[in-house]
Structure 1
Amino acid sequence: MNPKLLFWVPALLRVALVFAAAGVVWWMSGPVSALALALLIVVGMLLMQLSYLQQLDEWLTDPHSGKLPDGWGSWTDVFARLYRIRRDDERNQAELAEWLARFREAMQLLPEGVAIMDDVLQLEWCNRAAGKHLGLTLERDKGRRVTNLVRAPEFIDYVILGRYEHPLTLHFRGRKLEVRVIPFQSRRQILVTHDATEAERVEAMRRDFIANASHELRTPLTVVVGFLEIALADPGMDQATRLSHLKLMTEQAQRMQRLIEDMLTLSRLESDEYPLKREQVDVKALVEAVAGEARALSGGRHEIEVHVDGPDVMGSLDELRSAFGNLASNAVRYSPNGGRIVLSWQRGPDDLRFSVQDSGIGIDPQHIARLTERFYRVDKSRSRETQGTGLGLAIVKHVLARHGGRLQIESQPGKGSTFIACLPNTSLHA
C-alpha cells in the first residue's frame, strides 16, 4: 500500500470519530457540550503528540535501541522504523569495530613498521614494529609530532619536504631502515619502515665470503699456473725438479679441492632444499671412525684416546661425522708433536656431549667468539702450514644448529683447548 495512505487513512478516521462523537453529544446535549467534548479530545491528542515529541527528543540525545519508547497511532510506526534503523546501525558499528580490531591485530603482526600521521605530522597510530624501529610508544606519543620524536636530520628533511618518490635509507638506533611516506585520504599520511639491518649483514657476509674464497683460491691457483708456465718454458727441466713441482701442484690442487668441498658442504647445510634426515647413529662406531681418521692424519705424532660412555642418537650420520671429524682434525693440526688428544662421548648435565680435548697451543679469549666465522683464523700462517680451509668450525656450527645443538669452546693459551659439541636430549634414540 502507498505509504501516504498508511498515514492519512488512520488520521482521517480518528478525525471522523471525533466529529461523530461530537455529533452524538450535540444531538443529546446541544452544541455547547459537543464543542466542549471536541475541544477536550483535540487538546488531549495534542498533549499526547507533545509527550511523544519530548520522548523522541530525549532518545535522539542518547540513541540506544533499548531506550526507544512505545507509541500510539502513527507514532507506533515511527518508533518501529527508528528501532529498526538503530538496530541496523548498532549491528554495523559492531561489525566495523570487529573488523577494525582484526585489522589492527593484523597490522601489529606485520614485520614492517606502520604509523599513521595527520596533516601536521602528529602521530595517530602505530604498530609494534614501528615503535621498535623508531622508538615510538602509542600511549605516550599519540598526538605528538613525529618529527619531534624521530630526531634524525635526514628523516625530518624527507618528511617535511615531501619528496616521497624514493624511499629514505636511515641509520637510526643501531638499525638500517628503509622509510617510505604514503599520502592517503586528504589529510593523512602512512609512514612505513622496513628493517634492512639483517639484509645488510647477510650482504656483507656474502661479500666477505666471496672475497675470502677468491683470496683462498688465488694462492693455490697462482702456484699451479706458475709451475705450469715454468714447465712449458723449460721442456728440458730435470726429473727431480719436475717431480718437486708436480708434488707442490698436487698439494695446492688438493687444497683447492678441500676448499671447494667445504664451501659446497656449507651451502648444502644452509639450504632449505636439504632438510635434515634423521637416522639411528651408532655413536661408538662413529667416534672410533673419527679417531681412526685423526690417527691417520697424525701419522703417529700424537697420542689419541677415545672414551665412549653415552647412548646412540637420532640424526644425520654424514653430518655428525663431518662435524666430529672437523673437531678432531683441528686438534691434530694445532697440537705439537707428542701432544695428547682425547675424544669422548658422554651424557652432560642436561644434554649429550662429544668433546675433543687437546694439549695444543690454546686460543686467546678475544678470538673465541669469532672462531666459527668463515675463513676466520687466529694464526693465518700456521693455518696454511696445517692445510686448513678456515671453514671447519663454520661447518660444525651449522651441523649442530640443524640438530638443535651448539658448540662450546674452552681454551687457555699455551695449555690446550676443549671443543664440545652439545646435542639435546631429544636426539636420544628411543
Structure 2
Amino acid sequence: MNPRMTFWIPAVLRLVIVLAGGGVIWYFFGPVMGLAAALLALCILLIVQLNYLYQLANWLDHPSSARLPDGWGAWTDIFSRLYKLRRGDERNQAELAEWLARFRQAMSLLPDGVVIMDDVLFLEWCNPAAEKHLGLHLNRDKGMRVTNLIRSPEFIDYIILGRYEQPLTLAVRDRKLIVQIIPFENRRQILVTHDATESDRIETMRRDFVANASHELRTPLTVINGFLEIACSQPNLDLKTRMSHLKLMSEQGHRMQNLVEDMLTLTRLESVDYPLRPERVDMDLLVEQIQQDANALSNGRHQITLEIDGPDIKGNTEELRSAFGNLVSNAIRYTPENGAIHISWTMGVDGPQFAVRDNGIGIRPEHISRLTERFYRVDKSRSRETQGTGLGLAIVKHVLLRHDAILTIDSEPEKGSTFTVRFPRRMIAESFAETSVRV
C-alpha cells in the first residue's frame, strides 16, 4: 500500500469517529454537549500528539534504539521506521568501530611508525612504533603540532619545502630514521617513519667485513707473490734461502686457508639452509678430546686441568667442538708460558655450562663487549703472532645462538679471563650416565 494512504486513512478514520461520537451525543443530549464532547476528544488527540512530539524531541537529543518510545496510531509506524534506521546506524557504527580497532591494531603491530596529522600538522593519532621512534605520547601529545614535538631543523626544512616525494633521513634520539610525509584526503597527512639504525649497522658491518677480509688476505698474498717474484727473477738461489722462502709461503698459505675456512663456517652457521639438527652429544668424550687438542697445541708450555661433572646435551657435536675448541685455543694463545688453564663441564643452577679459565694477560673492560665481532682484535700484533684469524669468537657466538646458549666473559687485565658458556635446561638429553670429576 502507498505510504501516504497508510498515514491518512487512520487519521481520517479517527477524525470521523470523533465527529460521529459528537453527533450521537448531539442527537441524545443536545448540540452543546455534542460540540463539547467532540472538542474534548480533539483536545485529547492533540495532547497525545504533542506528547509523542515531546518524546521524539527528547529521543533525537540522545538517540538510542534501546530507549525509543512506543507509539500509537501513525506514531507506531514512525517509531518503527526510526527504530530500523537507528539499528542500522548502530550496526554501521559498530562495524566502523570494529574496522577502526582492527586498523589501529594492525598499525600498532607495524615495525614502521605511522603518525596521522591534519592539514596544519596537528597530531591526531600515532602507533607505538612512532612513539618509540619520535619520542611521542599519544595521550599527552594529541592535538599538538608535530613540528613542536619533533624539534629538528632538517624536519622543519622538509615541511617548509614540501618536497614529500623524497624521504628524509633524520637522526632522532640516537636512531637513524627515514621519514616521509604522504598527503591523503583533503585535510589529512600521514607521517611514516622507518628505523634504519639496524640496517645501517649491518651495512657498516658488511663493509668492515669486506675491508677486513681483504686486508687479512692481502698480507699473505703479498708475501707469497713477493717470494714467487724472487724465485722467478733469481732462479739460482741457494737451497737454504729457497727452503726458507717456501716455509714462509707455506705458513702464509695455511693462514689464508684457515681464514677462508672460518669465513665459510660463519656463512654456513648463518645460513637458513643449514638448520640445526640436534643429536645426543657425548660431552665426556667431547671435552676430553678438547683437552687432548689443547695439550697438543700447548706442547707442554701450560698446565691444563679438566673437570667433568655435567650431563650430555642435545646439539651438533662438530659445531660444539669448534666453539669450545676456539675458546680453549684462545686461552692457550693469550696465556704466557707456564700459565694455568682450567677446562670444566659442570651442572650449574640454571643448566649445564662449559667454562675455560686462565691466568693469562686478561682483557680490558672496554674490549669485552666487542670480542665476538668479526676481525675484532684487542692486540693486532699479538693476534698475528699467534696465527689467529679474528673470526674464532664470532664463530663461537653463532654456534651458541644455534644452541640457545649464552657466552659470558669475566676478565681482569694481567690476572686472567674466564669464558663461560651456559646452556638452558631444555638442552639436556633425556637421560645421561653419571659423570665423575677428573682433574
Question: Do the two structures share a fold, i.e. TM-score over 0.5?
Answer: yes
Q: Which runs of 5+ in 2 are unaligned?
A: 431-439
Q: CA deviation at 1:33?
A: 4.4
Aligned to 1:288: 288
Residue of structure 2 equivalent to 1:176: 176
SS at match of 1:171: strand
CA distance in 2, matches of 1:269, 1:307: 29
Q: Distance in 2 between matches of 1:76 and 1:418?
A: 87
User: Which residue of the partner structure matches residue 3 of structure 2?
Assistant: 3
Q: Which moved more, 1:216-225 or 1:103-112?
A: 103-112
1:252 deviation in Å?
A: 0.9
Letter in 1 for 2:362: G
Which deviates more, 306-315 or 43-52? 43-52
Provide the C-alpha distance between the structure 2 equivalents of 1:80 and 1:203, rounded to a whole number of angstroms: 67
Structure 1 residue 414, shift from structure 2 partner: 2.8
Instruction: Count the aligned residue pairs.
Output: 430
Among all aligned residue pairs of Structure 1 and Structure 2, give the percentage whose two residues are the same amino acid: 66
Please list the CA deviations of residues 136-155 of structure 1 after superposition, one character each: whole Å capped at 9, or x if unmatched.
11121111111111111011
Local SS of the residue matching 1:274 = coil
What is the distance in 2 between the residues matched to 1:404 and 1:199? Answer: 24
Give 1:44 shift: 2.6
**1:356 to 1:36, Cα distance in 2 relative to 1, 3 A:** closer
Compared CA separation, residues 253 and 54, structure 1 to 2 (3 A): same
**Alignment-mate amino acid for residue 324 of structure 1:** F
Instruction: Give me the whole-angstrom Cα distance separating, in 1, the residues matched to 2:5 and 2:348.
Output: 92
CA distance in 1, matches of 2:413, 2:8: 106
- Structure 2 Cα separation of the partners of residues 123 and 368 of structure 1: 44
Q: Which residue of 1 aligns with 2:136?
A: 136
2:52 matched residue in structure 1: 52
1:245-301: per-residue Cα shift (whole Å, max 9, x none)?
222111111111110111111122222322222111111110111122222222333
Aligned-pair CA distance for 1:204: 0.7
Q: Spell out, residue by residue over 1:327-365, the C-alpha distance to the aligned partner (whole angstroms, 9 max, x if none).
A: 111122222333332222112233322222233333233
State yes or no: 1:107 paired with 2:107.
yes
**Aligned partners of 2:407 and 2:39: how far apart in 1?**
102
State the match for 1:208 in structure 2: 208
Name the counterpart of 1:297: 297
Counterpart Cα distance in 2 of 1:319 and 1:158? 51
TM-fit CA distance, 1:31:
4.6
For residues 94-114 of structure 1, give each alpha carbon's deviation from its aligned partner in whole angstroms, at most 9, with x where no partner exists.
222222222222222221111
- Describe the superposition over 1:78-103 as per-residue Cα deviations: whole angstroms up to 9, x where unpaired: 11111111122122222222222222
Number of the residue aligned with 1:24? 24
* Residue type of the alignment partner of 1:224: I
Instruction: Describe the shift of the 1:422–1:67 C-alpha distance in structure 2 as closer, same or farther (beyond 3 A).
Output: closer
Give, in whole Å, the separation in 2 of the partners of 1:49 and 1:415.
100
Aligned partner of residue 111 in structure 1, secondary structure? coil
- TM-fit CA distance, 1:27: 4.2
Equivalent in the alignment of 2:364:
364
Q: Deviations over 1:354-378 (max 9, x none)?
A: 2222333332333222222211112
Q: How far is 1:23 from its partner?
A: 4.0
Map of 2:347 onto structure 1: 347
Q: Which moved more, 1:169-178 or 1:59-68?
A: 59-68
* Residue 255 of structure 1 pairs with residue 255 of structure 2: yes
1:292 partner SS? helix
Change (3 A) 1:320 1:41: same
* Partner in structure 2 of residue 402 of structure 1: 402
Letter in 2 for 1:167: P
Structural mapping, 1:268-347, within 5 Å: 268-347=268-347
Counterparts of 2:229 and 2:334 in 1: how far apart (Å)?
A: 35
In 1: Cα distance, 2:420 partner to 2:47 partner: 95
- For 2:164 and 2:224, the matched residues in 1 are separated by 55
Distance 1:22 1:421 in 2: 105
Distance 2:344 2:429 in 1: 19
Equivalent runs, 1:61-80 vs 2, <5 Å: 61-80=61-80
- Residues in 1 aligned to 2:418 and 2:61: alpha-carbon distance in whole angstroms: 80
Measured in 2, the distance between the counterparts of 1:63 and 1:318 equals 74
Greater alpha carbon shift after TM alignment, 227-236 vs 141-150: 227-236
User: What is residue 391 of structure 2 aligned with on the other side?
Assistant: 391
SS in 2 for 1:236: coil
Residues 25, 353 of structure 1: alpha-carbon distance in 2 compared, 3 angstrom cutoff:
closer
What SS does structure 2 have at the residue aligned with 1:389? coil
Aligned amino acid, residue 284 of structure 2? K
Q: Deviations over 1:116-150 (max 9, x none)?
A: 11122111111111111111111211111111111
TM-score (norm 2): 0.92
Matches for 1:84-99 after TM superposition, within 5 Å: 84-99=84-99
- Tell me the secondary structure at the aligned position of residue 144 of structure 1: coil
Q: Does residue 1:246 correspond to 2:246, yes or no?
A: yes
Range with bigger deviation, 60-69 or 331-340: 331-340
Distance 1:363 1:122 in 2: 53
Structure 2 CA distance, aligned partners of 1:348 and 1:410? 17
Residue 158 (structure 1) aligned with residue 158 (structure 2):
yes
Name stretches of at least 5 consecutive residues in structure 1 with no aligned partner: none
One-letter amino acid of the counterpart of residue 397, structure 1: K
Alignment of 1:213-252 (within 5 A): 213-252=213-252
2: CA distance, partners of 1:60 / 1:354:
76
Please give the secondary structure, in 2, of the residue aligned with 1:371: coil
- In structure 1, what is the equivalent of residue 435 of structure 2? none
Instruction: Tell me, in whole angstroms, the C-alpha distance in 2 between the residues paired with 1:412 and 1:60.
Output: 79
For 2:266, the equivalent position in structure 1 comes to 266
Report the CA distance shift for 1:27/1:180 in structure 2 as closer, same or farther (over 3 A).
Answer: same
Note the aligned Cα RMSD (angstroms). 1.9
Q: Compute the displacement of 1:32 (Å).
A: 4.7
1:294 maps to amino acid: A
Shift of 1:404: 1.9
Amino acid at match of 1:270: E
| AA partner of residue 79 (structure 2) | F
The one-letter code sitting in structure 1 at the alignment partner of 2:39 is: L
AA matched with 1:233 = S
Secondary structure (helix, strand or coil) at the match of 1:300 reads coil
Structure 2: distance between partners of 1:59 and 1:309: 80
For 2:140, give the aligned amino acid. R
